[in-house]
Amino acid sequence: MLTTQISIENEATLRNLQAAYDGESNAHAKYTAFAVKADAEGLHGAASLFRAVARAEQVHADHHARVIRQLGGEPTGSIRPFHVRSTLENLNDARVGERYEIDSMYPEFLREAKGHNNSAAMLTFQWALEAEKSHARLFSEAIAVLESGWLIAARNFYVCTACGYTSETPEAERCPTCNLPWEKFEVIR
């Protein structure tokens, strides 16, 4: 019988990778629904932002999935029910989710992966952690301008297809997190 060997030291890392994969998959589903709601409210700029960050979370999920497979696992996740409220509330919900990943989830997962010297897991967690900081900043900015009624027109966002870093301007030659050239970024509107 063919069995998949997962070493004991990879078990905790694999569990964390699965949790991260599941979290990113759920964030992708949620932000996609939040974009539809923002368009319905005439807040097309907020919709653009949700679409861009949804794409970035998909980049994270895909990267985590690759590492899970490298370690002999199979990525599993299920989309849980979530609430779609007003766009302002959805932006706040999104910001809280990003802050949890930045302040708690990814630093913990990163520490665990470092403890076992698992470089593939360290890289995927590190890239996601850095990208989530760009997401939290963009959501905070959107909340500030939404409250003053400015986020109406659709706009471009630039998503790194390697690490999920997201920006409102193509400000540098390369991704500040993973060094990918800007021409490989995806423009999401």
Q: How far is the CB of 159 from Fe ion (least distance, A)?
A: 9
By CB under 5 A, name the one of 51, 55, 95, 135 that touches Fe ion.
135
Token pair for residue 145? 């301008």
Among 160, 167, 168, 185, binds Fe ion (CB under 5 A): 160
Binder to Fe ion among 47, 91, 175, 188 (CB under 5 A)? 175
For the chain, first and last CA: distance in Å?
50
Tell me how far apart the alpha carbons of residues 155 and 125 are, in angstroms, rounded to a whole number.
Answer: 29
Considering only residues 12, 29, 71, 162, which one is a binding residue for Fe ion as defined by CB under 5 A?
162
The rounded distance, in Å, linking the Cα atoms of 68 and 75 is 6
Question: Which part of the chain contacts Fe ion (CB under 5 A), choosing from 35-43, 44-52, 103-111, 135-143?
Answer: 135-143
Both tokens of 65, joined, read 């999935």
8 A C-beta contact, residue 48 and residue 188: yes
Span from 29-37, 44-52, 110-118, 129-137 in contact with Fe ion (CB under 5 A): 129-137
Q: Which is nearer to Fe ion, 10 or 52 (CB)?
A: 52
Build a one-symbol-per-residue string for 14-53: x at contacts with Fe ion by CB under 5 A, - elsewhere: ----------------------------------------
Residue with tokens 């590492």: 67
Q: Which of 61, 121, 159, 163 binds Fe ion (CB under 5 A)?
A: 163
Question: What's the closest the beta carbon of residue 9 comes to Fe ion, in angstroms?
Answer: 28
Question: Could you tell me which residues are beta bridge partners of residue 186?
Answer: 159
Which residues, other chains included, contact 104 with Cβ-Cβ below 8 Å and sequence gap of 6+?
none
Closest approach, Cβ 161 to Fe ion, in A, equals 8
Q: Least separation, in Å, of the C-beta of 7 and Fe ion?
A: 30
Count of CA atoms in the C-beta half-sphere (13 A) of 103 = 7
Residue 187: alpha-carbon gap to chain centroid: 16
Kindly state the greatest CA–CA separation across the chain: 63
Q: What is the contact surface with Fe ion in residues (CB under 5 A)?
A: 98, 132, 135, 160, 162-163, 165, 175, 177-178, 180
